[in-house]
Amino acid sequence: MTTALRDFIKNPTTAELELVARYAMQPEDGRRERAFLAFAETGLPHRRMEAWKWSDFKAALKALETPASASANDPVPHDGALVFRFAPTGFEQPKTLPEGVRILTQPTTQALSGAEDVPLGALAAALAGGGARPSTMVIEITSSDLPRLHFVFDGAGEASFARIIFLVRSGVSLTMTESYLGGAGFTAALLEFNLEDAARLNRTIYQRGGTDEALAVTGLINLAANSAAVQTTLAFGAKVARMETRAVHQGSGAKLTLNAAYLSGKGLHADITTHVRHGAPGCVTRQLTKGAVLDGGTGVFQGKFFVPRKTGQHTDADMQHQALLLEDGAVVFAKPELEIYADDVECAHGNTCGALDDAQMFYLRQRGIPETQARAMLTEAFIAEALSTADDSVRDVLLAEAQNWLSS
Amino acid sequence: MLKITNLSATVGEAAEAKTILNGLSLNVPAGEVHAIMGPNGAVKSTLSYVLTGRSGYEVTGGSATLNGEDVLDMDPEIRAAKGMFLSFQYPIEIPGVPVMTFVRTAMNAQRKARGEAEISAPDFIKKSRDVAKMLNLDAEMLKRPVNVGFSGGEKKRLEIYQMMMLEPKFLILDETDSGLDIDALKTVADGVNAMRDPSRGMLVITHYQRLLDYIKPDKVHVLAKGQIIKTGGPELALRLEQEGYDGVLGEAA
Ligand SMILES: Nc1ncnc2c1ncn2[C@@H]1O[C@H](COP(=O)(O)OP(=O)(O)OP(=O)(O)O)[C@@H](O)[C@H]1O
Ligand SMILES: [Mg+2]
């Protein structure tokens, strides 16, 4: 089988051969195989694929190697949270779980629909598991009265794969956070959220990575009628880091908020990619992405709203991307897209990219605020709006991290 | 205090560089208030920017010293820490930064640059309350982002609030009177007069005599063509009001 699979990836790179070898060590499982085949179709995504033209994993990830840099510290509080930790070879979860959260660690892989749209999500599905780590972790939420669930991805190693499926039952609210702290040469995580009628999700993602690490976080969110999801991301990038979200409004009255801030420094690349399908009438999407990039850093924003002719009627959707190029040599690629076939909709989008305002900088400096601090103040004020939707327990932490980065 | 000698400056890139200051000299001793008047486009605001270090201008000759120290080579924030303050003709909006945060950050940055201790939160709040009261500023306004959604007159009052909070040594007021209603003009002038001090100098840029009724200048200068072309006492402002620039400058030319 391995040789057959190997043929699927044309001219495989060392990294791809290593991924094939890892797959060969997994137990045989038809769904796992289908997921791996979906990945193998393209191999590691690369610049000649439209959706990956600015984030070339094939070029960035030559081989699976433990990076020189250690994991970052987790600024997201662990106290008072139910903490799950995924390391390249290890896995930890709370010893006891309160009523209202039930975990099914599946020995087999769950089916992944639309796997071909998310090659690195499919890869995570195919390679999750092994050792102490669950193949697929299914978490059922039946109570709104739970502590925050916190998922940590850290620890040194060549590669780390995880797949988590959330079932948020009707009318139930879930607050969860994720910290991707680097340490592995390659991390691919797939998180799927199934929100039943009137369920609520507040998801906050913190990401930090080194200049020799690749990271792909794929989130799939299905929203049933009158459900609501709020997602807030703060990404600092890695050699290549892709934070991708694909959401589908499946029942009318659903509401989705997708906010992100990316801050890329030298040698770091942060990619925020989203795809929202308005598959039911009368749904709302609000998306705000803010970025700030330094010399030698790269930011990518790709956003798409897809509004079908029949099911997308009365869609109310707004997509905004605003980036600041803080220094010469900063690079931002942006592609906001609205694909709308329904006629009775309100859809808007905006996209701006520029430097800090000279007049504002001078005003701050005239009052005595040194240049670096002035720049940090203005940039923080600029991105803060995108982080305002984060859960109360982490919002200030995210702002403080952004501030530290800006004033260093 | 502030001594400008033969100051020349240009704006714009090499070939298109345009002379904006053309050998300007001006001396404002400590304790004095000097007014600068001059027609629109006379480079009054430009002079204030060159003195406070805004980028985009190139000094091509002459000097400007504050208490004997050459300021032209200093970064704007250093000049601010040394005591230079500009009340902007058009104050800038800073979305997302509340007034109180802004002023406290500025005050502590200046103190740090001067090697002084930071102001404590209670002291800052007390000072802010006193100044706001004097200027009839609503406490709610100080929680809002700097100048965002402020009326023209409110912005001008907020400039004076910042000035009174930061207690600079040398004050440049660029058309602080424009946009102020009659009562606000009086309030602002009271604030400025409260800052008068034997160790402080002021340069008041205005088009109107009315402000000078409240803030009595020691000298009045007329700026045109990049130079001070006439200097007189307070009566010069009155004459300008009656005869206009053509009348007064006609004799100077
Ligand atoms: N960056 C620049 N490039 C070209 N010309 C400039 C630049 N900055 C200022 N100027 C010109 O210099 C002149 C002086 O402008 P300034 O704002 O200093 O005048 P002012 O005396 O303050 O006028 P007002 O009374 O209207 O406020 C104007 O003609 C202006 O257009
Ligand atoms: Mg002016």
Task: Indicate whether A1 pLDDT > 60.
Answer: no
- Between CA A36 and CA A125 the distance in angstroms is 8
Report DSSP state, residue A95: S
B-chain CB neighbours of A378 within 8 Å are 94, 97
Average pLDDT over residues B61-78: 96
d(CA A249, CA A294) in angstroms, rounded, equals: 36
What is chain B's length?
253
Confidence check: pLDDT of B252 > 60: no
Nearest ligand (C-alpha, residue B224): 1
Q: What's the pLDDT at B253?
A: 45
Tell whether B113 lies on the interface with A, counting CB pairs under 8 A.
yes
The mean-pLDDT minimum among A101-110, A373-382, B14-23 falls in A101-110
Torsions phi, psi of A338, nearest 5?
-120, 125
Dihedral pair phi/psi, residue A6, rounded to 5°: -60, -30
What is the average pLDDT score of chain A?
A: 95
Q: Which atom of ligand 1 is nearest to the CA of B47?
A: 18
CA distance A286 to A317: 6
In tens, the pLDDT along B156-167 reads: 999 999 999 999
Mean of pLDDT values over B224-242: 91
Q: Could you tell me the residue ranges of all domains in chain B?
A: 2-252
**Which residue, among B54, B57, B112, would best test binding to A if mutated, counting the most A CBs under 10 Å from its CB?**
B54
What DSSP element (H or E) covers A105?
strand A101-106
Of chain B, the percentage scoring pLDDT greater than 70 comes to: 99
In this predicted structure, what is the pLDDT of residue B247?
A: 82
CB atoms inside a 10 Å sphere around CB B126: 12
Residue range B2-252, CATH number: 3.40.50.300
pLDDT digits (tens, 9 = 90+) for A323-357: 999 999 999 999 999 999 999 999 999 999 999 99
A380 touches chain B (CB under 8 A): yes
Q: What percent of chain A has pLDDT over 90?
A: 91
- Residue B6 has a pLDDT of 96
For the cut 60, the answer to whether the pLDDT of residue B93 exceeds it is yes
Ligand 1 atom at minimal distance to the Cα of residue B44: 21
Q: Are A131 and A51 in contact (CB under 8 A)?
A: no
Residues lining ligand 1, Cβ inside 6 A: B 11-12, 18, 20, 38, 40-46, 56, 89
Q: What's the mean pLDDT in A219-229?
A: 98
Chain B hits for A406, CB-CB cut-off 8 Å, are none
Q: Strand, helix or coil at A348? A: strand
Distance from residue B19's CA to the centre of ligand 1 (Å) = 11
H/E run at residue A298: strand A298-307
Residue A373 has φ and ψ, to the nearest 5°, of: -70, -40
Confidence at residue A4, expressed as pLDDT on a 0 to 100 scale: 61
Distance from CA of A229 to the nearest CA of B (A): 25
Question: Given this model, what pLDDT does residue A229 score?
Answer: 98
Q: Is the pLDDT of residue A226 over 90?
A: yes
Q: Give the chain A residue whose CA is nearest to the CA of B111.
A: A368
Task: Report pTM.
Answer: 0.90
The CA distance from A153 to A71, in Å, is: 9
User: Span B30-46, mean pLDDT?
Assistant: 94
**pLDDT-based confidence at A132, cuts 50/70/90?**
confident
Q: Is A107 exposed, middle or buried (0-12, 13-18, 19+ CB in 10 A)?
A: exposed
A372 touches chain B (CB under 8 A): no
Strand B201-205 and strand B170-174: the pairing is parallel
CA–CA separation, B234 vs B39, rounded Å? Answer: 18
- The tens digit of pLDDT for each residue in A142-170 reads 999 999 999 999 999 999 999 999 999 99
Site of tokens 């602002």: B188
pLDDT band at residue A133, thresholds of 50, 70 and 90?
Answer: confident
CA of B170 to the centre of ligand 2 (A): 18
Rounded mean pLDDT of A64-85?
A: 96
Q: Is A131 on the interface with B (CB under 8 A)?
A: no
pLDDT digit string, tens, across residues A51-68: 999 999 999 999 999 999
pLDDT digits over B169-180, tens only? 999 999 999 889
Chain B interface disruption, residue of A290, A364, A379, most B CBs within 10 A: A364
What Cα–Cα distance (Å) separates residue A360 from each residue in A116, B54, B148?
46, 11, 12
Predicted pLDDT at A6: 55
pLDDT over 70 at A250, yes or no: yes
